[in-house]
Amino acid sequence: MALKSSGEYANRLSRMRPNVYCRGKKIRRDDPVLEHPINTLKFTFDAVNDPELKDLIVTKSHLTGEEVNRFASLNRSVEDLYATQELKRKCCHRVGGCTQRCMATDTLNAIGVVTKDIDDAKGTSYHANFERFVRHYQTNDLVGSTCMTDSKGDRSSRPSQQEDPDLYLRVVEKNGKGIVVRGAKNHITMGPYVDEHLVIPTRAMTKDEGDWALSFAIPADADGIKIITRVVAPRPRIKLEAPYNKYGVADSVVVFDDVFVPWERVFMCGEWEFAGRLALTFAGFHRHSYCGCKPAVTDIVLGTTALAAEYNGVAKSHHIVSELTELMIIAELVYASGIAAAARARRTSSGIFAPMFVYSNVGRYLAGVNIYKEFDILNSIAGGLPATLPPEEDWLNPETGPALEKYIKRKPGVSAEKLHRLIRFISDFSCSAMAGWNQYAGVHGGGSPIMEKIGIRSEYDLEAKKRIAKYLAGIVD
């Protein structure tokens, strides 16, 4: 049975070689510090039994014929792309933000597309490696990271021009059995609680940069890998427990210190012409994912803002209604871009459907440039309490609790507990380390807005627009 339980997932993490470092010490993967981030991933396993989600999340593998988790599957049709987008929106509602697991799904789809392109052009056999790996991944219901973003050093210099060539991950040795790689990938979400690191290039390479044109999969605890991680989770609760406070995230610097990768796990090594294509193909899939998950974050901002206004007794004020409508427009425009990208998807030579690049990028861009505006709306309508409300201990203390019940008050009929719960949620969601993470992820995850602009321009037919202008102006060349 390819669908594994969240318990099986946690068990296999606890058996891995300890190579995770957190807050100054080496930790095992069952260390309590990782509990909240791992809960987020466990949700993606439990969801296969959830009546609202199971029809979306359980799908069939075209490779094994078995039922598999959609987070471990390839997009073989436009319907798959619609389903994946809807799944992300619904799952993010449950965990209060990023479910994280889609990144590897997008990476696998991109590697699938580009390995076939490389084989078609060069007669290599990377796609067979890829399909073998996907069978293994699906059969064991694995979780993968996306190791794309290199350290990059001086941004104005190319990989081959850096003072230290390791600032972009590179191959340092090739032999009959495999390759040896050295470097590091930064910002890697899920680093300590994945089974596999999926490695792809971060940018296009030139002819003399074949050593940096690399893609492969490697077990996350392989010899030579060090994962230096930073965990973010909402503040712990004492009595006012809430679903949001169960979850969290961890990002890592993943160091590859002369790591051996066997050839059967290599998907690109030296084919510099395809490095940029792989980076962009991943970006296309991942920005399409954002068109599902980012509207979910906006939904959370929208619902929370509306509830705060309702509890404050000002739900019908003109400026509040107008701000809430702004949020609806952002959420649905981003989501609509994803639907359009799926409707205009391209069947690639691998049989994988790739969402239309321009629409995915437009959606992701809109989401990225609006993230702070959304939090600004929530902040202004919630008032100042999310930043100043005394901690839960003072609400539970009989000496101070009654005063906090009497004076932390909104419209009649809203109990003190409901209000305390709402304000504490807004505080965790919008005025905390978790909020900062969400905002930075909202701008940079999947590529900063400037990268989407570059992506859009690269595929956009500007000449066609100039021809329209010339026609209307009566200009004949």
Location of structure tokens 């040896």: 180
Least distance (Å) from ligand FAD to the CB of residue 177?
A: 27
Q: Which is nearer to ligand FAD, 270 or 455 (by Cβ)?
A: 455
| Other Cβ atoms closer than 10 A to 425 | 22
Which parts of 313-415 fold into alpha helices (H)? 318-343, 357-382, 385-388, 392-396, 401-407
How far is 195 from 401, CA to CA, in rounded Å?
46
Least distance (Å) from ligand FAD to the CB of residue 216?
A: 14
Q: Which is nearer to ligand FAD, 195 or 323 (by Cβ)?
A: 195
Q: Which is nearer to ligand FAD, 187 or 410 (by Cβ)?
A: 187
Q: Which is nearer to ligand FAD, 309 or 334 (by Cβ)?
A: 334
**Eight-state DSSP code of residue 408:** S
CB 379 within 8 A of CB 430: yes
Interacting residues toward ligand FAD by CB under 6 A? 103, 146-149, 152, 155, 185, 187-189, 251, 437, 440-441, 444-445, 447-448, 450
Q: Which is nearer to ligand FAD, 142 or 441 (by Cβ)?
A: 441
Q: Which pairs from 157-163 meet CB under 8 Å and 24+ separation?
A: 158/206, 158/209, 159/203, 159/205, 159/209, 159/212, 160/206, 160/208, 160/209, 160/212
Least distance (Å) from ligand FAD to the CB of residue 474?
A: 39
- Provide DSSP, 37-63: HHHHHHHHHHGGG-TTTHHHHEEE-TT
Least distance (Å) from ligand FAD to the CB of residue 372?
A: 14
Please name the helix (run of DSSP H) or strand (run of DSSP E) that holds residue 229, with its range, or none. Answer: strand 225-232
How many Cα atoms are found within 13 Å in the side-chain-facing hemisphere of 233? 20
Q: Which is nearer to ligand FAD, 148 or 419 (by Cβ)?
A: 148
Please name the helix (run of DSSP H) or strand (run of DSSP E) that holds residue 187, with its range, or none. Answer: strand 178-189
Least distance (Å) from ligand FAD to the CB of residue 306?
A: 27
Least distance (Å) from ligand FAD to the CB of residue 358?
A: 19
